[in-house]
Amino acid sequence: MIEVNNLQKEYLEGDTSTLALRGVTFSIAKGEFVSIMGPSGSGKSTLLHILSFLDRPTGGTYKFQDKSIDEMTDKELAHVRNSDMGFVFQSFNLLSRLTVYDNVEIPLLYSDISPSRRKKLVEEAVNSVGLEEKLYTEAGRLSGGQKQRVAIARALVTDPNVIFADEPTGNLDSQSGLQVMEILESLNDKGRTVILVTHETQTAEFADRIIRIKDGIVESDKKITANRIHRDIK
């Protein structure tokens, strides 16, 4: 599904050049659950932005579903991002005065799906994260864990091929974080590709594979051979 080769990202600020990625190479198969780990400033967030079409590399190649990002226009990238990718962020990115229903429906408003079909898709997505009783509650009235579950429902509503989760437990207590990770694990068990960015080892261990980034390069890329261990996320 994803193949990057010698990926580089250079930022220019005046006469100063900073290499955030220095030649990253790996591939991710459909249905994998991969954690990308690294300390602050390691390049993991830059990598996530490129993988999710929010930015372009300045060197190397990136293929998504066998098509090079270099061959795609910004409009094509936006279409793939809206149809094939779902996003879960640390800060939830919900509109607090809108209901759960309205927040989850937002990605569908840019499609030609009929209102009745949209309603069915929203209800199914909200049910899948166990918040059906909160469907018409304003997002601002929810707990942090509930907000993140709404964010997951919003990511799911377009039936994406891959879910990108950027520090999804960072603003949650341990129990809420555990619930969110179990939902992501369940989605992966059903065949969805999940790419998780985190600095928390216990969160990363929900994945089947951990890619560690340091100073803009891949420090290690290892499969987790043991069974996933469910522990409180600290």
Instruction: Quote the domain boundaries for residue 94.
Output: 2-233
Specify the range with the lowest mean pLDDT, choosing from 11-25, 90-104, 194-208, 216-230.
Answer: 216-230
Backbone angles phi, psi at 23, to 5 degrees: 120, 65
Smallest CA-to-CA distance from 147 within 100, 214, 207 is with: 100
Q: Residue 81: helix, strand or coil by DSSP?
A: helix
pLDDT digits (tens, 9 = 90+) for 167-206: 999 888 899 999 999 999 999 999 999 999 998 898 999 9
Q: Which residues are bridge partners to 62 per DSSP?
A: 4
| Domain CATH code at residue 195 | 3.40.50.300
Structural domain total, the chain: 1
d(CA 182, CA 188): 10
Specify the range with the lowest mean pLDDT, choosing from 39-43, 62-66, 109-113, 185-189.
Answer: 109-113
To the question of pTM greater than 0.85 for the whole model, the response is yes
Residues 6+ apart with CB under 8 A from 94: 103, 139, 147, 150, 151, 154
- Average pLDDT for residues 114-138, to the nearest whole number? 95
